Structure 1
Amino acid sequence: MAVRADARRNRELIVTTALDLFAERGTAVSMEEIARAAGLGVGTLYRHFPDRQALVEDIALDALRRLMTFGEAVVAEDRPNWQALRLVVEHCAGLPLALIKTLSPATTANPELARLERDLNALFERLALGAQEEGTLRGDIPPGEVVGLLNVAVCRPGARADDYLTTVILDGLRR
């Protein structure tokens, strides 16, 4: 069944508005505030997203899918692993990964979210191991721990590719 153009626009407007408000004021923004800021009725918002969890999961799925697509494309290119790892980390800066970390595995019923997180962690681990093998990433830190450090850098509010924390972590990992 095709989605009407106005319904599609409303859904996109809700997601964009929610992202803007979450970035500006944190995740405590109410659904009513999101609807008001989007210029829509609360009923319209709830027709698209029955609750906050559904809205955040939708945003999370979109962000993780985009990151996975980008990461796979970077890996498919013939480039050094360290360079590929940095490109993927830089791409993370534009995604709402801090918001995603607010989702609790106990309350998230969407198996695609868990699969995407596992696949992305595996992709980061492969890149880290490859960079260690090529001698561009320190070899004394297990690849899984490298992923944990990178999560600290990119999965926080306001994370940017060129901010001090991301820069220090990448500089510290570089051999």
Structure 2
Amino acid sequence: MRADARRNRGLIVAAALELFTERGPEASMEEIARTAGLGVGTLYRHFPDRRALLDEITVDTLRRLLEAGRDFAARPIPRWQVLLLIVEHCAGLPLALLKSPPESGAGHPEVPRLVDALTALYTQIAEGAQREGTMRPDIAPEEIVGLLNVAVCRPGARPDDPLTTVLLDGLKAAPDGS
């Protein structure tokens, strides 16, 4: 790929990430092109349809999230702190895309594998937090992962917004470990 084409593709992906993170998958292709400072024709040369752009961003986001999650999990800190780092990291990602219905086709074939890997990693982290006594023991780790998805997989999610704050407060173990 030529240097200018690579630059344009990067501008498109960056603009789409910005708009999808702010507003979810409703951002139009025209808005993305305008935000990237490019014409719609250039956008469509790189991404023949909206689904191709969404797929690339989704796969890239999931890969980065899995890498960051593994890095956080490798740190010698309490699992609750790992979970908080992950939630904070998620705030800047367009995770609402994961909840958007596919517009055409089945989506990128790598998505299910990445989602399964993330679910397994987060389940292990939740189990570790429960074992160390920093997370409520009365909620199944798989359900905790589902609750966290509700908090972070929506447009405008932040680690300090009311929904995330209440959810994390509800998952944290009481001082007596219950």
TM-score by length of 1: 0.90
- What are the Cα deviations for residues 11-48 of structure 1, in whole angstroms up to 9, with x where unaligned? 11111222333345543333233223433232221121
Alpha carbons of structure 1 residues 106 and 4: separation in structure 2 relative to 1, 3 Å:
closer
Is the Cα contact below 8 Å between 1:60 and 1:100 reproduced in 2? yes
TM-score, L = length of structure 2 = 0.89
Partner residue, 1:57: 55
SS at match of 2:136: coil
- Where does 1:2-151 land on structure 2 (aligned, <5 Å)? 3-24=1-22, 26-104=24-102, 107-151=105-149
1:40-98 deviation line (CA, Å, top 9, x unaligned)? 23222112111101101111111111111111011112111111111111111111101
Q: How far apart, in 2, do the equivalents of 1:124 and 1:105 lie?
A: 28
- Supply the distance in 1 between the matched residues of 2:26 and 2:17 (Cα, whole angstroms): 12
- CA shift in 2, pair 1:7/1:103, >3 Å: farther
Change over 3 Å in CA distance of 1:38–1:95 after alignment to 2: same
1:162 to 2:144 alignment = no
How many angstroms does 1:100 deviate by? 2.6
- Distance 1:105-1:137 versus aligned 2 partners, 3 A rule: farther
Gaps of 5+ in 1: none
Amino acid at match of 2:91: A
Gaps of 5+ in 2: 174-178
How many residues get paired? 173
CA distance in 1, matches of 2:124, 2:22: 34
Contact 2:90 2:152 in 1 (8 A): yes
Q: Is the 8 A contact 1:56 1:100 kept in 2?
A: no
CA RMSD of aligned residues (A): 1.9
Aligned equivalents of 1:85, 1:50: Cα separation in 2? 37
Contact kept? 2:33, 2:39, Cα under 8 Å: yes
